[in-house]
């Protein structure tokens, strides 16, 4: 699984880095940033889904890999 933030939609609510700080951080203006390459380490899939489902702007994409 991989996470991605759509910068056109993100408004810096910060729900992703509040809920899943292992996968997301923020930049100097408070917009969400994916940590590293966005590959979700095993066991953190729940955190990834929680962040995506709580983004008020629907800015987080979850890419399920085969």
Partner 1 sequence: MAADDRFTQDYRETREDQRPGVRGEVVTGPVSDWATDFSHVEPEWAADPYRIQDDLRQRCPIARTGRFGGAWLPTRYEDVAAIAYDTERFSSRSIIVSNFRPPRELAPVGTAPPISSDPPFHHDARKLLLPAFTKAQAAKQEPATRAFCHALIDAFAGRDVVDAARDYAQHIPVRVIAGVLGFPLEDGPQFREFVEDLLEGINLPPDERIDRVSRLFDYLLARVNDRLGNLREDLTSYLINAELYGRKLDPSHVVGAMALLLIAGVDTTWSAIGASLWHLAKTPADRERLVAEPGLLPTAIEEFLRAYAPVTMARLVKDDMRWRGVDMKADDWILLSFPAANRDPAQFDRAGEVVIDRAVNRHAAFGLGIHRCLGSHLARMELRVALEVWLQRIPEFTLADPPAVTWAAGQIRGPRALPLRIH
Among 5, 23, 40, 55, binds partner 1 (CB under 8 A): 55
12 to 31: interface string for partner 1, x by CB under 8 A: xxx--xx-------x-xxx-
11 binds partner 1 (CB under 8 A): yes
Q: How many CB atoms lie within 10 A of CB 62?
A: 16
Among 6, 7, 22, 53, binds partner 1 (CB under 8 A): 53
For the chain, the DSSP string reads: -EEEE-TTT-----HHHHH-TTTEEE-TTS-EEE-TT-BPPTT-HHHHHHHHHH-TT--EEEE---
Q: Contact positions toward partner 1, by CB under 8 A? A: 11-14, 17-18, 26, 28-30, 50, 53-58
């Amino acid at each position: 699984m991989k996470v991605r933030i759509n910068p056109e939609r993100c408004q810096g609510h910060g729900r992703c880095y509040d809920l899943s700080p292992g996968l997301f951080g923020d930049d100097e203006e408070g917009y969400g940033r994916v940590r590293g390459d966005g590959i979700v380490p095993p066991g953190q899939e729940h955190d990834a889904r929680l962040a995506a489902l709580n983004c008020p702007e629907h800015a987080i994409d979850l890419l399920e890999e085969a």
